[in-house]
Structure 1
Amino acid sequence: MENRTGKESDSESRKVTSQLLKSKSGEFDLESILFLKLKGLGIYELGCIGECLSLERLDLSNNNITHLGPLASLKLMVVLNVSANRIVTLEPLGSCESLQSLNVAGNHISSLENLQSLAGLRKLETIRLRDPISNLSNPLCTSSTYRSSVLDMIPSIKVIDGERVSGQGSDLYQLCKDIDNSLKRFLSNGPVAAEIPGTAKPWVEESYWDLKPAESSIIDEAYKQFNDVLQECKELSKRADDTIAQAEQALNIRNDPGSYVF
């Protein structure tokens, strides 16, 4: 009898219950919960989490979740982290109309069809399907064109896997790629110095730093665009500092605001 009770208790501990939500949030009423961090608890079933109707930020990473059904009712959710789970489809998230940032790296998403439900989320700007630092990915990421396909499907996306693909900053990223490709073509067509036995080979060709007019014009344009983007970054940084200061002031009512950073 004791063994059976232990198994039932263990099973219950891996399911989201009202008691778990209240203990983790410190709130008595589920509808009052704004932030939840349920990382690495062995959760396999989301239970009553859909009753947290005011929830804005949710971290469910490093669990055993396969279905996101209960999240469909979270209309105010802005940030969701479900990385390192066993999720195949994101269909329930199609009704999370406030969602802006989504991390699903380290799941079992194998095709673009599994992301189709996100196409109507007009506020979704950031999505992570792959995280090389944490060695997390999805089967979909084996395709070399998955990022462009995701961008075509969800036009509102600005950042994929931590890289800005549209909006401010993306022009600089593309410019750097173009310069890199131009230099590669230049080097591949340039002369190759013959190796002389018994002498050390230079780490670059002698003419490597002698830029031709075409390459020089590319660099000049790069400097100009870089300075323009740098100025935008400085302005964005100032705005971000102001926003962070306001957020920290707002979160001073909580004992541990740092626990809600995903």
Structure 2
Amino acid sequence: INYKLWKDTNKTECAKITNVLLKSRTGEFDLESIMFLKLRNLGIYDLGCIGDCINLERLDLSGNNITNLGPLSPLRRLLVLNLSANRISNLEPLSSCEGLQSLNVAGNVIPSVDNLHALKSLKKLESIRLKDNTYNYTNPVCKNSSYRTLILDIFPNMKVLDGERVVGRGSDLYQLCKDIDDTIKAGMYKNGQLPELPETKPWVDDGFWEIKRSNNAIVDEAYKQFSDVLHECRLLNSRAAHVISQNERTISLKNQPKQYAV
């Protein structure tokens, strides 16, 4: 086998998405049956017939050489799309993917926030990732210090931006961490000295947790009566247990078989 020829042929097949590639990757004979598809790190630059997978819901095309997203426009049922680590600058073809909820385009060449306006019509879009610190993926747009604020203005329904929850449960924690990071970056030292912090104080006054006896005669009398009733209940319980035990013993003796002397 000519290994070089096989390698070049295989590379050519993966460079463009074809029916053969889709069927071999998914095991599906009908492209409309494909709902989940992962085509990572295959050197793909031409999306080919991907638009025929009209029922596709989750698609991972990360780590390729994609520049043109036009073939994705028929995928109206697409929910999650990962396009990280490609060479994408234009997101306009995704405007027809009306079901899209999560989009990852970190590690591309999106130049400015203006390029995201095309996605404003996607009412279900709740998560966008333009930067991924874990893999050191980013976009030129991220160099704008206010890009996060601008994106949130464009997408008022946004819940997660760059992996951080911006609204809803957990958003306060992310904001707190961000504030701490900003404080650390800005520096806590003033004139070379650490600002004085107030001494710590107890949350409650001394003796707060001690049980204090009431001086109210009515409360004391009620407490005494309750104690007496509780004592009587315990005595009755003890007597009842004794009577029950005696009755059980009597019944047990009656049920024993009689023995006759021979």
TM-score by length of 2: 0.67
**Alignment CA distance shift 1:184-1:162 (3 Å):** closer
1:27 and 1:179 mapped to 2: Cα distance?
50
Which residue of 2 is the match for residue 115 of structure 1?
A: 116
1:65 and 1:182 mapped to 2: Cα distance?
39
Deviation at 1:172, TM superposition (A): 3.7
3-state SS of the aligned residue for 1:80?
A: strand
Partner deviation per Cα, 1:51-104 (whole Å, 9 max, x = no partner): 000000000000000011011000000000000000011101101111111100
- 1:1-262 maps to which residues of 2 (within 5 A)? 10-175=11-176, 192=193, 207-208=196-197, 210=199
2:192 and 2:85 mapped to 1: Cα distance?
49
1:119 and 1:162 mapped to 2: Cα distance?
19
**Which residue type is aligned with residue 21 of structure 2?**
L
2:185 and 2:20 mapped to 1: Cα distance?
60
- Aligned-residue sequence identity (percent) comes to 57
**Which residue type is aligned with residue 38 of structure 1?**
L
Number of residues paired by the alignment? Answer: 200
3-state SS of the aligned residue for 2:59?
A: strand
Which residue of 1 is the match for residue 220 of structure 2?
A: none
1:80 and 1:73 mapped to 2: Cα distance?
14
**Which residue type is aligned with residue 72 of structure 2?**
L
Give the unaligned 5+ runs of structure 1.
193-203, 217-262
Cα root mean square deviation, aligned: 3.2
Task: Identify the range of structure 1 (16-25 vs 173-182) with the bigger mean alpha-carbon deviation.
Answer: 173-182
2:86 and 2:110 mapped to 1: Cα distance?
11
3-state SS of the aligned residue for 1:36?
A: strand
2:183 and 2:157 mapped to 1: Cα distance?
30
2:135 and 2:181 mapped to 1: Cα distance?
27
3-state SS of the aligned residue for 1:147?
A: helix
Deviation at 1:7, TM superposition (A): 5.9
3-state SS of the aligned residue for 2:62?
A: coil
**Are the aligned partners of 2:11 and 2:43 in contact in 1 as well (CA < 8 Å)?**
no
3-state SS of the aligned residue for 2:93?
A: helix
1:116 and 1:164 mapped to 2: Cα distance?
21
Deviation at 1:153, TM superposition (A): 0.8
Deviation at 1:174, TM superposition (A): 3.1
Deviation at 1:122, TM superposition (A): 0.9
**Alignment CA distance shift 1:210-1:57 (3 Å):** same
The higher relative CO (CA closer than 8 Å, separation ≥ 6) is in 1
Partner deviation per Cα, 1:207-232 (whole Å, 9 max, x = no partner): 546259xxx9xxxxxxxxxxxxxxxx
**Are the aligned partners of 2:26 and 2:37 in contact in 1 as well (CA < 8 Å)?**
yes
**Alignment CA distance shift 1:15-1:184 (3 Å):** closer
**Alignment CA distance shift 1:91-1:61 (3 Å):** same
**Are the aligned partners of 2:40 and 2:62 in contact in 1 as well (CA < 8 Å)?**
yes
From the CA coordinates, give the structure whose radius of gyration is larger: 2
Which residue of 2 is the match for residue 249 of structure 1?
A: none
1:146 and 1:83 mapped to 2: Cα distance?
18
Partner deviation per Cα, 1:179-218 (whole Å, 9 max, x = no partner): 7878999x656994xxxxxxxxxxx77x546259xxx9xx
Partner deviation per Cα, 1:123-143 (whole Å, 9 max, x = no partner): 111110001110110000011
**Alignment CA distance shift 1:178-1:113 (3 Å):** closer
